[in-house]
Amino acid sequence: MTSPTEPTPPTRLPLLPTHAVPPSTLGTMKHDGSRIKMQPADVKGKWMTRRRVVFALLIAFYVVMPLVEIGGKPAIQLDAAARRFYLFGATFNAQDFWMVLLLVLSFAFGLLALTAWRGRVWCGWACPQTVFLEGVYRPIERFFEGSREQRLKLDAAPWSARKLGLRAAKYAVFLFVSLNIAQAAAAIFVGPRELLAMILDGPRAHPEAFLLVMGFTAVLMFNFTWFREQFCVVLCPYGRLQSVLHDKDSITVSYFEKRGEPRGKVSKAPAAAPKGDCVDCNRCVVVCPTGIDIRNGMQMECLACLQCVDACDDVMHKLKRPPELIGFASHHELIGKGRTVLRPRLAVYSALMLLSLGTLGFSLATRTPFESNVIRTKGSNPFVMTAEVVRNPFEIHLVNKNPEPSRFHLSIEAPVPIEVVLGTPDVELASLADARVPAMVSIKRELVKGPLELTIVITDSHSGVVKRQPLAFLSPMSVGR
Ligand code: SF4
Ligand code: SF4
């Protein structure tokens, strides 16, 4: 609460179009439906410092990972043409695609749990849209055009050589950055070596890839230079789902109304009516990238970026008042009902995430470096009987899932003497290549008195893994039983 001895609060920024944001109106929209161009003010504080660290790590992850190799293989590549993908040095083929689905499911359930617990923190801290906008494009804009006040002035100023020069320099750097992000994205599909070869060959040698990169660059330019926060507010499907993902115990960025209201300027008049801690300076509104006034309550457009928290803490610090007039709270906390973290919605989302992650972890841990299947030969009888022997023809199908070429040795064992004819006992296979090896096993009739089981033994020279695969030996004696 205010006291007559308090320092003068920060004055409202002079160039600020202090669009008071009515609770039912988008902060980025005027009453006639046209868009308000967001020029969020710079803010410093503990959350901004932490966000910058997170942004730096994520930019390195998003841009650098597709461009590097681990163990001679792309760190991340989705090679759709060859139906294979690489993840952190491991090689996967089309049969492993269900693992990608498990990964996507784990991520989706994790995101649902995080949203039910803490609101849109993914949006404000880790989504590539925010990471690149706030971590790359906005700082470039500030470098060329200055603070919010200077940018607003420049926006309003008539065209001049200075304005043209600043805008040209800014967009040239934006274009350079967008082109590089687009190329990093292209590397996800073609791999870093192929991308480098394509760049060196020039656009004429790879017109489709060139057009694709140019198209994506154009999309990035449109998004990060003009569309910006509209992506989070009106386009992103995850953003649109917020109202069903939240409940009254979700901990979101909140204004502590009981402490802040009645808001008003600090008055030194002795008879002034007592006021809340909010001095109505509007700093929390002008730093908001989606233009909302968090004092109007929780809103779907809030990205949980915490810029308003840092801005208000700064104001409170100058006024020598406690911080966190804006902080984290659930609806139930705000109305005095206390915090409930564990609740059915959160438990179900978390359990589904852990189940998907556990299944994925188990599948990866038990994944063999090759696949093998025994297939009865198409178009021929599963067994042939002569006066002396019973024969079983079949094929052994091998897929090398090692990241390197490997040699596979094949042999067949049985509990009785057998005669084996193999297409080849040793198969050389490149990474992710496959082969079918024809095989024929003959057993003397008098030895086949009932069901018999063969064992196909496959030894992988690259990994040293030995797989023993059972196969029923078919005969009239086994079929009849
Ligand atoms: S909540 Fe804080 S930053 Fe926002 S207007 Fe009030 S005092 Fe200023
Ligand atoms: S209200 Fe605060 S936390 Fe939400 S988007 Fe605006 S600045 Fe970020």
Span 434-465, pLDDT tens digits: 999 999 999 999 999 888 999 999 999 998 99
Share of the chain above pLDDT 90, in %: 71
82-103 average pLDDT score:
86
303 Cβ closer than 6 Å to some ligand 2 atom = yes
Instruction: Report yes or no: 280 and 240 within 8 Å, Cβ to Cβ.
Output: no
pLDDT value for 342: 84
312 Cβ closer than 6 Å to some ligand 1 atom = yes
67 Cβ closer than 6 Å to some ligand 1 atom = no
pLDDT value for 20: 52
Share of the chain above pLDDT 70, in %: 93
Q: Whose CA is nearest to atom 1 of ligand 1?
A: 278
- Ligand 1 atom at minimal distance to the Cα of residue 326: 1
Taking the centre of ligand 1 as the mean of its atom positions, its distance from the CA of residue 332, in whole angstroms, is 22
List Cβ neighbours of 142 (8 Å cut-off, separation of 6 or more): 42, 151
314 Cβ closer than 6 Å to some ligand 1 atom = no
Q: How confident is the model at residue 480 (pLDDT cuts 50, 70, 90)?
A: low
Q: What share of the chain is helix, strand, coil (3-state, %, to 5)?
A: 45, 20, 35
308 Cβ closer than 6 Å to some ligand 2 atom = yes
Neighbours of 405 (CB within 10 A): 13
- Ligand 1 atom at minimal distance to the Cα of residue 283: 3
Taking the centre of ligand 1 as the mean of its atom positions, its distance from the CA of residue 51, in whole angstroms, is 21
Tokens 């021929």, located at residue: 380
Taking the centre of ligand 1 as the mean of its atom positions, its distance from the CA of residue 136, in whole angstroms, is 27
Count of alpha carbons within 13 angstroms of residue 397, beta-carbon side: 7
Separation in Å, CA 90 to CA 72, 234, 403, 405: 10, 38, 7, 14
> In whole angstroms, what separates CA 47 from the centre of its chain?
22
> Which residue type is seen at 237?
P
315 Cβ closer than 6 Å to some ligand 1 atom = yes
Ligand 1 pocket test, candidate residues 256, 280, 288, most atoms within 8 A of CB: 280
Ligand nearest to the CA of 322: 1
Ligand 1 pocket test, candidate residues 19, 278, 319, most atoms within 8 A of CB: 278
159-168 average pLDDT score:
97
242 Cβ closer than 6 Å to some ligand 2 atom = no
Ligand nearest to the CA of 288: 2
Q: How confident is the model at residue 272 (pLDDT cuts 50, 70, 90)?
A: low
Residue 92, phi then psi, degrees to nearest 5? -130, 150
3-state secondary structure 91-112: EEEHHHHHHHHHHHHHHHHHHH
Which residue would you say has higher pLDDT here, 329 or 342? 329
Ligand nearest to the CA of 38: 2
Q: What is the pTM for the complete model shown?
A: 0.81
Taking the centre of ligand 2 as the mean of its atom positions, its distance from the CA of residue 59, in whole angstroms, is 22
Taking the centre of ligand 2 as the mean of its atom positions, its distance from the CA of residue 295, in whole angstroms, is 10
Fold for domain 370-480? Immunoglobulin-like (2.60.40)
Q: Show me where the domains of the chain are located.
A: 1-367, 370-480
pLDDT value for 3: 43
List Cβ neighbours of 360 (8 Å cut-off, separation of 6 or more): 99, 102, 103, 106
Residue 268 has pLDDT above 80, yes or no: no
Residue 5 has pLDDT above 60, yes or no: no
454 Cβ closer than 6 Å to some ligand 2 atom = no
Residue 28 has pLDDT above 60, yes or no: yes
Distance CA 266, CA 2 (A): 7
Q: What are the tokens at 390? A: 């019973």
Taking the centre of ligand 2 as the mean of its atom positions, its distance from the CA of residue 294, in whole angstroms, is 7
284 Cβ closer than 6 Å to some ligand 1 atom = yes
Q: Whose CA is nearest to atom 8 of ligand 1?
A: 281
Q: How confident is the model at residue 309 (pLDDT cuts 50, 70, 90)?
A: very high
pLDDT value for 25: 64
pLDDT value for 266: 78
pLDDT value for 63: 93
Neighbours of 463 (CB within 10 A): 15
Q: Whose CA is nearest to atom 8 of ligand 2?
A: 305
251-266 average pLDDT score:
92
Residue 278 has pLDDT above 90, yes or no: yes
Q: How confident is the model at residue 224 (pLDDT cuts 50, 70, 90)?
A: very high
Ligand 2 pocket test, candidate residues 134, 284, 308, most atoms within 8 A of CB: 308
Distance CA 71, CA 88 (A): 9
Q: How confident is the model at residue 1 (pLDDT cuts 50, 70, 90)?
A: very low
Distance CA 164, CA 171 (A): 11
Ligand nearest to the CA of 125: 2
Residue 192 has pLDDT above 70, yes or no: yes
pLDDT value for 275: 82
Which of 284, 374, 373, 361 shows the shortest CA–CA distance to 324? 284
pLDDT value for 6: 43
List Cβ neighbours of 26 (8 Å cut-off, separation of 6 or more): 233, 291, 301
Per residue in 358-400, pLDDT tens? 999 999 888 888 999 999 877 778 899 999 999 999 999 999 9
Per residue in 329-340, pLDDT tens? 999 999 988 888
pLDDT value for 8: 45
Distance CA 137, CA 182 (A): 14
Taking the centre of ligand 1 as the mean of its atom positions, its distance from the CA of residue 283, in whole angstroms, is 6
Q: How confident is the model at residue 299 (pLDDT cuts 50, 70, 90)?
A: confident
pLDDT value for 23: 54
